[in-house]
Amino acid sequence: MLDVDMLITKAKEARERAYAPYSHFRVGAALLTQSGHIYSGCNIENAVYGASNCAERTAIFKAVSEGHSSFRALAIVSDDEDYVFPCGICRQVIWEFSHDIDIFVCTADGSWQRHNIKELLPHAFHI
């Protein structure tokens, strides 16, 4: 059984470690693998914005580098009052590893919505 609240808590903890000196827009993500491991990530900015990395990709890259490439759920939280969704690049990276993952987008006050990657990226690029 998926503990959504625990996954969101892990995303909030990751948000606290965000490195966002330019935008001041902190994002945290928590990724649940099919085997039950959780990998968290935060956004990491750079003065050259193209060298920045989103929280979602940070979590995914950490998991893949540790041998996990099958994912069950992803929670994303920021300091914003609105729901924050993965950017287009992150959606494609998510799709690369899971064509049927639940994504929980959360507001700063703890409200959340469940979406599926198929809904967020209906015409994903694949070879």
- Between CA 38 and CA 52 the distance in angstroms is 23
Based on the residue annotation, tell me whether 16 is a catalytic residue of this protein: no
Go through 40-74 and write b for each residue having 16 or more CB atoms within 10 A of its CB, e for each that does not: bbbbbbeeeeeebbbbbbbbbeebbeeebeebbbb
> Hey, what are 38's tokens?
């959780």
Please state, in angstroms and rounded to a whole number, the distance separating the CA atoms of residues 28 and 17.
Answer: 8
Catalytic residue (choose from 56, 66, 81, 96): 56
Task: Please identify every residue annotated as catalytic.
Answer: 56
